[in-house]
Structure 1
């Protein structure tokens, strides 16, 4: 079975577009592999078939912030911007899990944009969706306190058992702050009875109280 049948959105493309895409081979990427770095030329348009890729912006001081995650069916805005604008990557992408993906080279990407209305809709629809999530990130960092962002992260990513399995460094990257700040905020939330925490695990004790932190904690 061709890889284009593994992606619902690509399966819906016209036959000539699928035939051209089927000339490309998927790549298996191990967990922890760096897919691109700041300053590198854009290799092509990324199609995630399985797994997850995290794209982080790294500051001059070495701190990083999670810009977005790419899961199957989602786009990598860094790649799209680089292809359309000719700019190099400004962030770093790493495979958060083992992943299977296809990189559509620049010449194939533009040939499909020119010839396939369905492919154009796919690319720009995914681009618009990703831009909306980026705007949400900017809004959160600008107008929500660190404590509110941390509470929202815990609520959003905890499992059915109410546990979040992340290190403090990973939480700091996800909400755009320093690990030391996350440590202090976790301790404060623990003192109020919202949660408990130990190395690598946060357990929700009072979901309602955490939601109140998210709703009411402005700067």
Structure 2
């Protein structure tokens, strides 16, 4: 049976694959913190199944979702911590039940130094993540909250239904929960949405699409 390493990192030599496959695989329940701001990175996590959300918190208590980590993706904060000896500035929480393998820091550094394929994987994933974070900063800085929220709702909808709290939506677009609540109330009064506890239904998708632009 093919181990996780051959699926996640195809092309590695058999000895390296066997070494990585020997690392323990952990199953972690949803809503479990993996690291907090100020912690130090002790290993490089490879997410095999599920999703991990990484948040940045301000002094006011507001949060913004920096990015989500799914299979084949990496965590900027962990890469910076391992390669630059920097403490985490954000918090990572499992959004779903996750299966993951943690490559210990000494093994990570050895692979970076000796295995071009692994090094390329880390750097490509890092570059992709930096691009996503840059796009997020551009949206927060230059796109109106109404447009960002409308776009987020359209991205999240499944059959015109969205399951999310106001706090979750606020974290995703980088604003306060109160701002989200007021905007959703306006759109509900205008007949664009129907809202309930932890649930939103799109009633007029054409108008929401126009707002997203």
Of residues 117-126 and 13-22 in structure 1, the stretch that sits farther from structure 2 once superposed is 13-22
The residue that corresponds to 1:4 in the other structure is: 4
Q: Would you say 1:15 and 2:14 are equivalent positions?
A: yes
Structure 2 SS opposite 1:61: coil
Q: Is the 8 A contact 2:4 2:21 kept in 1?
A: yes
Structure 2 SS opposite 1:21: helix
**Residues 89-108 of structure 1 correspond to what in structure 2 (within 5 A)?**
89-108=88-107
**Residues 13-162 of structure 1 correspond to what in structure 2 (within 5 A)?**
13-159=12-158, 161-162=159-160
The residue that corresponds to 2:178 in the other structure is: 180
Shift of 1:129: 0.7
The runs of at least 4 aligned residues of structure 1 exceeding 3 Å deviation read: none
Superposition CA RMSD, Å: 1.4
Of residues 198-207 and 84-93 in structure 1, the stretch that sits farther from structure 2 once superposed is 198-207
Q: Quickly say closer, same or farther: Cα 1:163–1:121, change in 2 above 3 A.
A: same
Measure, in 2, the Cα distance between the counterparts of 1:158 and 1:93: 24
Structure 1 SS opposite 2:200: strand
Structure 2 SS opposite 1:31: coil
Shift of 1:2: 5.6
Measure, in 2, the Cα distance between the counterparts of 1:147 and 1:110: 44
Structure 1 SS opposite 2:27: strand
Gaps of at least 5 residues in structure 2 are: none
TM-score normalized with structure 2 length: 0.95
Structure 1 SS opposite 2:99: strand
The residue that corresponds to 2:210 in the other structure is: 212
Measure, in 1, the Cα distance between the counterparts of 2:76 and 2:24: 22
Shift of 1:19: 2.2
Measure, in 1, the Cα distance between the counterparts of 2:65 and 2:143: 16
Q: Is the 8 A contact 1:45 1:79 kept in 2?
A: yes
Shift of 1:16: 3.0
Gaps of at least 5 residues in structure 1 are: none
Measure, in 2, the Cα distance between the counterparts of 1:3 and 1:182: 44
Shift of 1:164: 0.4
Shift of 1:121: 1.1
Of residues 190-199 and 105-114 in structure 1, the stretch that sits farther from structure 2 once superposed is 190-199
Measure, in 1, the Cα distance between the counterparts of 2:209 and 2:40: 42
